Amino acid sequence: MEFKTGHGIDGNMFAKLLFKNGMLTKATHEMTVRFTPALVVTEDEIDKALEIIRHSIKELEGMAHGI
């Protein structure tokens, strides 16, 4: 996932929110976050991951300006 500049947020902030909410990711090049799921995942695990991502995006939107 890549972030645009100029909103006061970056990939590192998002990676920290994801970690706080239970998902380990890798921020790369400041504006990019890498997702590296396991090779074998269940539908429940995918649903949980999407729930964490949605929740973290809402938190990030609250921190951003100009969106």
Q: pLDDT tens across 23-46, in order?
A: 999 888 888 899 888 889 999 999
What are the boundaries of each domain within the chain? 11-63
Mean pLDDT of the chain: 88
How far are the Cα atoms of 19, 45, 64, 65 from residue 8, in angstroms, in the given order? Answer: 19, 31, 6, 6
- Indicate the pTM of the whole model: 0.81
| 20: pLDDT strictly greater than 90 | yes
Q: What pLDDT shows up at residue 4?
A: 75
Q: What pLDDT shows up at residue 66?
A: 60
| 19: pLDDT strictly greater than 90 | yes
Which tops the pLDDT comparison, 67 or 54? 54
